[in-house]
Amino acid sequence: MKWYERQKQLYAQKNQPEPPIQPQDNSYTEDSMEAAYREDEYMQEPEVTMQSKDMVQEPQYNRYDNQDMQDYEDDYYNDSFQTVNTTDMNATTISKGTLVNGNVEADGDLIIRGHIKGDVLCNANLSVYGVIEGTISCTNAFFDNAMIMGDIGCSGNMEITESSTIDGNIEAYNLLNGGRIKGNATVTEAVHFLSTSAIVGDMNANAIQVDRGAVIQGSITIRQDVYFNENNR
């Protein structure tokens, strides 16, 4: 073979296109021995079931435990003496340092911080932090650092703080007294005398509670039915 024919043959072989690359089969075929082994292993695995101890237990609550019952009784007792310490912006206010010579009437809540020389009629909640020289008629009453010289008629609850003094007779539905009263008190339901309280006058109520330290100078009448059989005299 001549030289140029050899070069022609080598050139043709060099420029011949390469055969396409065949994709490799990466799939794995399990033989019969491996398949049998896997099936046997699966059959030997223990069945897992949820036991009762593994289940999440819902917490059990006692609807009325001792503390809840105590709180309930305290709330019930306090509600019977609950009065309104009026702080409503819509309430009529007689400011401190104001002197009113004459009667005062209010359809809504009334706050008195000044000095009233006259009767007070309030068809709602009355809060007094000043002085009133005259009779008072209201729904609920709250007296704090107050001086009252006149009778008080309250169709609802009345509260008198330690720093207050009442010089007159009192009529109320419930009375919580921590101050001083000079006069008779007639209460439809319950009266509670705190340890700082004092009354000089007769007391008439359906139920009375007196804390140690309270002073009562007068007769006490508790309106309860009393029955005697023929053997008790």
**Angle (CA) 30 36 41, round 5°:** 110
In angstroms, the CA 186 to CA 120 distance is 20
Task: Please check whether residue 131 is in contact with residue 115, taking contact to mean a CB–CB distance below 8 angstroms.
Answer: yes
Residue for token digits 């007094």?
A: 128
pLDDT at 56: 47
129-150 exposure pattern, b = at least 16 Cβ within 10 A, e = fewer: bbbbebbbbbbbbbbbebbbeb
Q: What is the mean pLDDT of each run of 10 residues along the chain (233 residues)?
A: 62 62 56 58 52 47 43 46 56 92 95 97 96 97 97 96 97 96 96 96 95 95 79 62
The residues near 145 (Cβ < 8 Å, ≥ 6 apart) are 129, 161, 163, 164
Tokens of 213: 């330290």
In angstroms, the CA 158 to CA 140 distance is 6
For the chain, what is the radius of gyration of the CA atoms? 47
Q: Which residues pair with 121 in a beta bridge?
A: 105, 137
In angstroms, the CA 109 to CA 126 distance is 6
Indicate the pTM of the whole model. 0.63
185 three-class SS: strand
